[in-house]
Amino acid sequence: MTLRRLWRKAVNDVMLTMTGICAVLTASALFFILGYLIWNGSTSLDWNFFTKLPLSPGESGGGMANAIVGSAKIVFLGALIGVPVGFVAGVFLSEFSGKTLANTIRFTADLLNGVPSIVIGILAWALIVVPTRHFSAWAGGFALSLMVIPVTLRATEQFLGQVPLSLREGALALGASKWKSVATVVVPAARTGIMTGIILGVARISGETAPLLFTALNNQYWSKGFNEPTASLPVMIYNRAISAFDDFHRQAWAAGLVLLALVLVANIAARMVLAKGAAAHRG
């Protein structure tokens, strides 16, 4: 009997230790990446990084100002196209469509979400770069928008679905049409959740590299408007990392650090939006 108890205790201890180690490993992965980026990149992260253009190999210094602005432009385009489409589709799915159609669209959206990003890049290349005969921010933005749509759609649908029936009936009972009740009560009630989903979706695409490789391409200089090849942080990291120069490698680390910081900030912002929404509901 005591032997059996000892065995049980041993199994318990081993399992507990293993689950604990796995949990710590998961959490420490992020801190390891962050620490590694800071270790390797922070020396190249100076004021010039944010204000200067990239220099040619051999010259030291320079920055990635054009890539930072370029990333912002491309992500902005992606969100500008993708968020409204995904949002409206999500509202339709949750509030107006029949069951069969809703299931079909939901399944399609999940498939689209699962399409490898490099394939999305090829699609944007075939649809925009080939006909217009040049790389552009538009093409990159279009590729990213295809990745924002399913995320926004699912977040919208999910949070609208959580709005209680009693609120919908409350609005209808006051003489609101279906459409008005959705626009004035249901969507506002789900606003914070939808906002959070959109922020996370946009943060997600801001780090995407593959869809931009042959759509927005890259640029050593400033690009005017949205019709020229445009530099972006992820593609810049890729180019710098595969080069042969130590200085370039350090810049790639620095760019990675900036990108990660932006994504972390977006995540924290999303959490704050959610928390504020919850507080407002409690009154």
Residues forming contacts to other proteins in the complex (CB under 8 A) are 164, 166-177, 180, 184-185, 188-189, 280-283
Name which of 18 and 101 has its Cβ closer to other proteins: 101
Is 109 in contact with 154 (CB distance < 8 Å)? yes
Name which of 185 and 262 has its Cβ closer to other proteins: 185
DSSP H helix total and E strand total for the chain: 14, 0
CB within 8 A of 94, min separation 6: which ones? 156, 157, 160, 161
Name which of 116 and 170 has its Cβ closer to other proteins: 170
Q: Could you tell me the smallest distance in angstroms from the CB atom of residue 271 to other proteins?
A: 20
Name which of 173 and 244 has its Cβ closer to other proteins: 173
Written as one string, the DSSP assignment of 237-272 is HHHHHTSS-HHHHHHHHHHHHHHHHHHHHHHHHHHH
Q: Could you tell me the smallest distance in angstroms from the CB atom of residue 185 to other proteins?
A: 6
Name which of 195 and 231 has its Cβ closer to other proteins: 195
CA distance 97 to 270: 29
Q: To which residue do tokens 């005017």 refer?
A: 224
Q: Could you tell me the smallest distance in angstroms from the CB atom of residue 29 to other proteins?
A: 38
**Inter-CA distances, 201 with 61, 72, 98, 146, Å:** 33, 15, 27, 11
Q: Could you tell me the smallest distance in angstroms from the CB atom of residue 283 to other proteins?
A: 3
Q: Could you tell me the smallest distance in angstroms from the CB atom of residue 156 to other proteins?
A: 17
